[in-house]
């Protein structure tokens, strides 16, 4: 993962919820290159990507908690819930590739984020028909805001 910035002293497992990061992702990523911002401001981005991976396996609970209620980024949860009534998904899921600071305010920050989504296979529950969804690189801006002292994901654009 390419992330610009601070030294590893500024980030510990408590600050980025490393216990929630997929083990293979943690091993592949160098968390010593985080943007020069408060590490807690990046946590909502990491949590959102982690929750997407859990959601692909059918656990939507973390995804529903990964952002502020008004964030349209939570719409994927209802689409996945609908899909899971008739199918399942298999694949490597999502991997955070790059996080760069775009706008750095005291209570709101905008990050340019690149996420790799590996190819996924949709498997129909009745009949086992399979459909492959190709992988892709997804570039978005993630907007986080500090509310009541806690950083929250409020928008992806």
For residue 37, the domain's CATH number is 3.10.450
Q: Which distant-in-sequence residues (6+ apart) come within 8 Å of 118 by Cβ?
A: 91, 92, 93, 94, 95, 135
18 and 1 in contact (C-beta within 8 Å)?
no
* pLDDT for residue 6: 34
Q: Which distant-in-sequence residues (6+ apart) come within 8 Å of 130 by Cβ?
A: 121, 122, 123, 124
* pLDDT for residue 114: 96
More confident residue, 36 or 37: 37
Q: Is the pLDDT of residue 26 over 60?
A: no
Q: Is the pLDDT of residue 20 over 50?
A: no
* Number of compact structural domains in the chain: 1
* pLDDT for residue 22: 40
Q: Is the pLDDT of residue 16 over 90?
A: no
State the pTM of this model.
0.77
90 and 125 in contact (C-beta within 8 Å)?
no
Domain ranges, residue 51? 2-156
Q: Is the pLDDT of residue 10 over 50?
A: no
String of DSSP letters for 129-146: -EEEEPPEEEEEEEEEEE
> Using CA atoms, how far apart are residues 156 and 111, in angstroms rounded to an integer?
10
């Amino acid at each position: 993962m390419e992330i610009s910035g601070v030294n590893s002293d500024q980030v510990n497992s408590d600050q980025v919820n490393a216990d929630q990061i997929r083990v293979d992702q943690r091993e592949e990523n160098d968390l010593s290159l985080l943007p020069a911002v408060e590490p807690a401001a990046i946590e909502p981005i990491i949590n959102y990507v982690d929750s997407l991976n859990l959601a692909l396996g059918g656990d939507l609970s973390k995804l529903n908690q990964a952002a502020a209620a008004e964030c349209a980024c939570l719409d994927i949860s209802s689409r996945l819930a609908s899909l899971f009534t008739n199918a399942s998904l298999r694949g490597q899921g999502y991997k955070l590739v790059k996080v760069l600071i775009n706008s750095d305010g005291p209570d709101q920050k905008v990050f340019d984020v690149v996420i790799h989504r590996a190819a996924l296979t949709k498997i129909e529950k009745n009949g086992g028909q399979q459909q492959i969804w190709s992988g892709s690189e997804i570039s978005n801006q993630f907007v986080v805001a500090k509310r009541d002292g806690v950083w929250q994901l409020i928008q992806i654009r």
